[in-house]
Amino acid sequence: MTQTTAQQNLPPRLELKNLTQTYGDKKVVDGVSFKVMPGQVTCLLGPSGCGKSSTLRAIAGVEMQQSGEIWLDGELICDTLHRVPPEGRSIGLMFQDFALFPHLSVAQNIGFGLKGDKIAKRARVMELLKRVSLTHYADRYPHELSGGEQQRVALARALAPRPVMMLMDEPFSGLDDRLRDSVRDETLAMLKEEGTAVLLVTHEPEEAMRMADEILLMRGGKIVQRGAPYNIYNAPHDLEAALFFSDLNVIEAEVNGALAETPFGQFLAPGHANGTKVKIAFRPQHIRIDFDRGGRGPEPTQSDGVAARATVRRARFLGRESIVEFDLDCGVQLSATVPSVFLPETGRVMWITVPRARCYVFAG
Ligand X SMILES: Nc1ncnc2c1ncn2[C@@H]1O[C@H](COP(=O)(O)OP(=O)(O)OP(=O)(O)O)[C@@H](O)[C@H]1O
Q: Which residues bind ligand X (CB under 6 A)?
A: 23, 28, 46, 48-54, 203
CB of 90 to ligand X, least distance (A): 23
Of 284, 265, 278, 295, the C-alpha closest to 326 is 284
The 3 state secondary structure assigned to 247-311 is CCEEEEEEEECCEEEECCEEEECCCCCCCCEEEEEECHHHCEEEECCCCCCCCCECCCECCEEEE
Of 357, 53, 331, 321, the C-alpha closest to 203 is 53
Tell me the one-letter amino acid at 24: G
Separation CA 148–CA 165 (nearest Å)? 22
CB of 222 to ligand X, least distance (A): 12
Tell me whether residue 29 or residue 359 sits nearer to ligand X (CB atom). Answer: 29
CA distances from residue 294 to 32, 234, 291, 311 in whole angstroms, order as listed: 57, 35, 9, 14
Tell me whether residue 32 or residue 129 sits nearer to ligand X (CB atom). Answer: 32
353 by DSSP, 3-state: which? Answer: strand
Q: What b/e string do you get for 77-87 counting C-beta neighbours within 10 Å, with b at 16 or more?
A: bbeeeebeeee
CB of 28 to ligand X, least distance (A): 4
Tell me whether residue 57 or residue 279 sits nearer to ligand X (CB atom). Answer: 57
CA distances from residue 306 to 258, 351, 354 in whole angstroms, order as listed: 18, 10, 9
CB of 209 to ligand X, least distance (A): 17
Tell me the one-letter amino acid at 49: G
Tell me whether residue 28 or residue 37 sits nearer to ligand X (CB atom). Answer: 28
CB of 107 to ligand X, least distance (A): 32
Tell me whether residue 59 or residue 324 sits nearer to ligand X (CB atom). Answer: 59
Tell me whether residue 48 or residue 302 sits nearer to ligand X (CB atom). Answer: 48
Tell me whether residue 53 or residue 225 sits nearer to ligand X (CB atom). Answer: 53
Separation CA 21–CA 32 (nearest Å)? 9
Separation CA 138–CA 108 (nearest Å)? 8
Q: Do the Cβ atoms of 10 and 38 come closer than 8 Å?
A: yes
Tell me whether residue 131 or residue 203 sits nearer to ligand X (CB atom). Answer: 203
CB of 58 to ligand X, least distance (A): 10
Tell me whether residue 196 or residue 202 sits nearer to ligand X (CB atom). Answer: 202
CB of 42 to ligand X, least distance (A): 15
CB of 48 to ligand X, least distance (A): 3
CB of 35 to ligand X, least distance (A): 20
Start-to-end CA distance of the chain, whole Å, equals 35
